[in-house]
Amino acid sequence: MRQEPPDGLPREVRVLAVVAFVVALGFGIVAPAIPLFARDFGVGRTAVGLAVSAFAFFRFVSAFGGGSLVERFGERVVLAAGLGLVAVTTGLAGLAGSFPLFLALRAAGGVGSAMFTVAALSLLFRVAPPTHRGRAAATWQGGFILGGIAGPAAGGLLAELSPRLPFFLYAGFLLVAGAVALVLLRAAPAGPEGASPTAGPDLDPGPVRLATAMRNRAYLAALIANLGTGWFLFGVRNSLVPLYVTEELGRTVAWAGAGLLAGSLAQALGLLRAGRLVDQWGRRPSLVLGSALATVSVVALVFPPQLIVFLASMALFGLAASLLSAAPAALVADVSPARGGRLVAVFQMSADLGAVAGPLIAGWLADVASFQWAFAVTAVVIGAGLLAALSLPRTAPAGG
């Protein structure tokens, strides 16, 4: 029997959190620079949205391929290879001399990101005990958030010096994260006791079929919630919010970094309790609360622009994101605790679909109408996750 720490979280969860921290630190630095760097090529807001969406789109289309690589080569190798690919393409993107080349390199980086995410989530879901899945997801996300706390503020300042500099730093952080994964992650065990009835030579005890999962309300609610999270957190927030701050609020890009920092701090504080709430309070109430807070936070941006409202909105969404990081992931692990495979890939793809569509649709709306229309449509998408959460049975177990 495997030795687990007193809190019930396997060693692999903590290692993955360290890797996530290093990745997020670099991404937080580069996030404010992406739309500004794209703007330097003389493109419009929709094209700026495309610069963000290209990365997510190729994450989306390569997710199934990433799952196949995990099954063939294992999580550890695929995770490190994915980070290496993102590192190389990000460094080259900082040297790009034209917008099409910059776009192509961002797209190629999306493939590596899909490899990393599918491998990490597959390992996380397999090793987490059923009664600790919310805490495992929160610990994993906590690594991202802690890394992202310093990243956005520093990224905003660095982008003012040179929009290329953050890309080089991000590439370096990714190389460090890949090395950590190779050195510290062991070969994945078959899974936690009680998570799967058998463990054959292929380490796949018969995962739930995708068609079966798609008829499960819990799995569908997780997908819809993840779609809304990807739409705003990974899409609109990175592509449109910096432009909203500089063009609508009339502030410097450093204030955009401050807004991202406020969200990161709120999410980090929320994650201290979110995982335990998901495991002990229940998946459904945690998902309802997170979706409701997220919807309200985006609706606030529909009103006339004010700096204090913007900062409060970012902080409130960060608090909501702490619950939306843990509850949907725990639901997916409850549905299929075996090796991730297609269910993990589709779960990732739901967020990537939001991250692809969100910047494009919101950017187009900001061009032809206003920022307020863009945020209104975003609120509707996030609100769909609230409706899906409310449809879940009240007796949904917290422990799987």
Residue with tokens 């610069």: 51
255 contacts: CB under 8 Å, gap ≥ 6: 156, 245, 249, 307
* Contact call for residues 12 and 167 (beta carbons, < 8 A): no
Measured CA distances, 114 to 88, 103, 111, 176, 238 (Å) = 15, 17, 5, 18, 18
List the pLDDT tens digit at each of the 400 positions of the chain: 444 454 578 888 888 988 888 888 887 788 777 777 777 777 777 777 777 778 878 888 898 888 778 877 878 888 989 999 999 998 998 888 888 898 899 889 889 988 998 888 888 888 888 888 899 999 988 888 777 766 666 666 676 667 778 888 889 888 888 888 888 876 545 444 444 433 333 344 456 777 788 889 999 999 999 999 999 987 888 778 888 898 888 888 788 888 888 887 888 889 889 999 999 888 999 999 999 999 999 999 999 889 999 999 999 999 999 999 899 999 988 887 666 567 888 898 898 889 888 888 998 998 898 899 999 999 999 999 999 999 998 754 444 4
Helical spans, DSSP H, in 62-132: 63-73, 75-93, 99-127
Evaluate whether the domain defined by 11-188+210-390 bears CATH number 1.20.1250.20.
yes
> What is the predicted pLDDT for the residue at 150?
65
Contact status, residue 123 vs residue 12, Cβ threshold 8 Å: yes
Contacts of 85 (CB under 8 A, 6+ apart): 108, 109, 111, 112, 115
Which letter does DSSP use for residue 94 in this model? T
| Domain boundaries of the chain, sorted by first residue | 11-188+210-390
Answer whether 144's CB lies under 8 Å from 113's CB.
no
CA–CA distance, 260 with 368 (Å, rounded to integer): 26
